[in-house]
Amino acid sequence: MDLIVGNWKMNLGGRDSLQLIEGILERLKKPIPGEAVICPPATALFMAGDRVKETPLQLGCQNVFYENKGAYTGEISPEFAREAGSRYAIIGHSERRQFFSEGPEINRKIEAVLNLGMTPILCVGESLEQRDGGNAWSVVKDQLKQGLQGISTEKLSGLAIAYEPVWAIGTGKTASPEDAREMASRIIEELHHLQGLRVLYGGSVKPGNISDFMSLAEINGALVGGASLKADSFAKLIYWEK
């Protein structure tokens, strides 16, 4: 089943989040041909979660800590995120890796999310320098290994991997469909033992190009940034057509 995820990043407070949700719901005139997930900022999770209950939209969080509670000032409890209604959690986004130096703790975050019955969306992707140097796959493979190491195959059933080439995030550039297909194929081959694995593409996805990626057999969804901040464009992404 296709998975379309809107990552709102550090945009939209509680009131604006509700306004966007209303706009999206107004445009859902027919059944969603898959799953549609919104990931608002943490401060809007509970308000958003209350609003999307019993609607076709699902809730996700943009990040969590690896402990459910304790003396961790400013962190986001995965247990609280689930209490707000989150079924999905974005883990290891390139912006978290870049600005907050995340690395080894990604593995612990994934396990914490799985222990609560939530589905992690593990983000992987290479920089332009790494791609030009011929190291794209080795970088992504290392990120997969680091993120999933030591976690049982049974726990990882239904895992989502978002391939987001770093150079295509928020730049207006996108990987070619062939680049995306090649990387998705390698990810699927590497994780062939996992049941229900879904590979998403992310990186300047918008209504005008989503079909280029979603029509690929290896791609099962999209992780969307800027285009998820407008109700009309996000609805078009949900209803993309082959």
What digits encode the pLDDT tens for the residues 199-227? 999 988 999 999 999 999 999 999 999 99
The C-alpha atoms of residue 232 and residue 230 are separated, in whole angstroms, by 6
What pLDDT score does 242 carry?
60
Domain, as residue range, for 218: 3-238
C-alpha dist (Å) from residue 80 to 27, 90, 117, 125? 30, 15, 13, 28
Higher-confidence residue of 30 and 156: namely: 156
116, pLDDT greater than 80: yes
The C-alpha atoms of residue 28 and residue 24 are separated, in whole angstroms, by 7
pLDDT in tens, 57-88: 999 999 999 999 999 999 999 999 999 999 99
Distance from CA of residue 17 to its chain's centroid? Answer: 18
What pLDDT score does 181 carry?
95
User: Residue 210 is encoded by which pair of tokens?
Assistant: 């989503």
What pLDDT score does 214 carry?
95
Question: Is the distance from CB of 227 to CB of 205 less than 8 angstroms?
Answer: yes
Relative orientation angle of helices 45-52 and 14-26, to the nearest 10 degrees: 20
Among the residue ranges 93-97, 113-117, 121-125, 238-242, the one predicted with the least confidence is: 238-242
- Average per-residue pLDDT for the chain: 95
What pLDDT score does 140 carry?
97
168, pLDDT greater than 80: no
Question: What CATH number has the domain bearing residue 123?
Answer: 3.20.20.70
pLDDT in tens, 133-161: 999 999 999 999 999 999 999 999 999 99
What pLDDT score does 139 carry?
96
Number of separate domains in the chain: 1
Active site members: 93, 164
167, pLDDT greater than 70: yes
Q: Which amino acid is at 119?
A: T
Helix (H, G, I), strand (E, B) or coil at 24: helix
Which stretches does DSSP call E strand in 62-118? 86-91
Backbone angles phi, psi at 125, to 5 degrees: 165, 155
What pLDDT score does 241 carry?
78
**120: β partners:** 89
